[in-house]
Amino acid sequence: MSDYNYKAVNRDMGRAIHHYEMIEADDRILVAVSGGKDSLTMLWMLSERLLRIPISYELYAVYIDPGFEKSFAPELAGWCRDLGVELRVEHTDHGPFAHSEQNSENPCFLCSRMRRKRIFEVADELGCGKIAMGHHKDDIIETLFINMCYTGVMSTMCPAQQMFEGRFTIIRPMAYVDEERIRRFATDTGFPEFNNPCPSANDSKRKEIKSLVNNLTRGKKKIKNNIFRSLSHVNIEYMLKQESRGG
């Protein structure tokens, strides 16, 4: 494992956790695991930091299996077990239903909504007040562009966001970490690669926007960092007046 990549991920993750006060002593944290490099890195880092920080918290890894054929849930559970974390697998039919004729909505939108709903239900069952998701800096930037391009709203994911009147808090410990850094760390550490069985995995709005952002920032890291920085430096005086929705 590259000490440099580990230190970089650990530093940026620590900054986000500290800045947004994401984790407190005795927290019960549901860690949403998808099998991708982002959530595996998040679970690995959250587990590893327990060995060297002065506060303790409990981790509950949960995978919402969408129900497609060739599920990698057993292999993912084995990897988590080797890490010392027991994985709870929730078997659903969210994926096939979202892609069926019964659904007139965007399959990714419906599947994501049902998965999020089940995560909240499981968090409630486990008594977890915090829900950790593996979204990183690039995800936050891409979400900004998705919302601007497809909904006409300037907004993105919050690194820490209270839900249901404070009953749950979604935290994104990887919010300050670059996707490329995560990729290098996952490769260095030898994380397994699981094949996403979803038929829409390579055909989504996020894929389109990722390509757009990559073309905009390719070879110019400063541009990506400035876009990210601008999300916390909004000059309202130089934004447009909100349009009236009245008749």
pLDDT > 60? residue 247: no
Band of residue 195 on the pLDDT scale cut at 50, 70, 90:
confident
Q: Using one digit for the tens of pLDDT, what is the confidence trace for 42-93?
A: 999 999 999 999 999 999 999 999 999 889 999 999 999 999 999 999 999 9
Contact residues for 7 (Cβ-Cβ < 8 A; gap 6+): none
**84 within some domain:** yes
Torsion of CA 198, 199, 200, 203, to 10 degrees: 130
Strands of 66-207 (E only): list them. 87-91, 130-132, 160-163, 168-171
**Helix (H/G/I), strand (E/B), else coil: 171:** strand
pLDDT digits (tens, 9 = 90+) for 125-167: 999 999 999 999 999 999 999 999 999 999 999 999 999 999 9
**Residue 35 near residue 76, CB atoms below 8 Å:** yes
Evaluate whether residue 209 is within a structural domain: yes
pLDDT at 2 over 80: no
- Give the pLDDT band (50/70/90) at residue 246: low
Which candidate, 16, 83, 84, 14, places its Cα nearest to that of 52? 14
pLDDT the model gives residue 201: 74
- Distance in angstroms between the alpha carbons of the first and the last residue of the chain: 61
C-alpha separations of 81 from 11, 47, 60, 124, 151 in Å: 26, 12, 12, 23, 41
Q: What is the mean pLDDT of residues 185-204?
A: 86
142: left (phi over 0), alpha (psi -120 to 50) or beta: alpha
247 within a domain of the structure (yes/no) = no
For the chain, how many structural domains are there in total?
1
Nearest to 117 by CA among 137, 97, 141: 97
More confident call, 41 vs 103: 41
Does the global pTM surpass 0.85? yes
Task: Tell me what pLDDT residue 220 has.
Answer: 86
Range of the domain at 73: 3-238
Could you tell me if residue 244 is inside a domain?
A: no
Residue 61 is assigned to a structural domain of this protein:
yes
The SS3 assignment for 169 reads strand
* Structural contact between residues 41 and 180, judged by C-beta atoms closer than 8 angstroms: no
- Which pLDDT band holds residue 203 (cuts at 50, 70, 90)? low
Residue 143's CATH number: 3.40.50.620
Indicate whether 178 belongs to any domain: yes
What is the percent of the chain where pLDDT is above 70? Answer: 97
> What pLDDT does 104 receive?
67
Structure tokens at 102: 């019964």
Q: Is residue 94 part of a domain?
A: yes
Question: Is 157 inside any structural domain?
Answer: yes
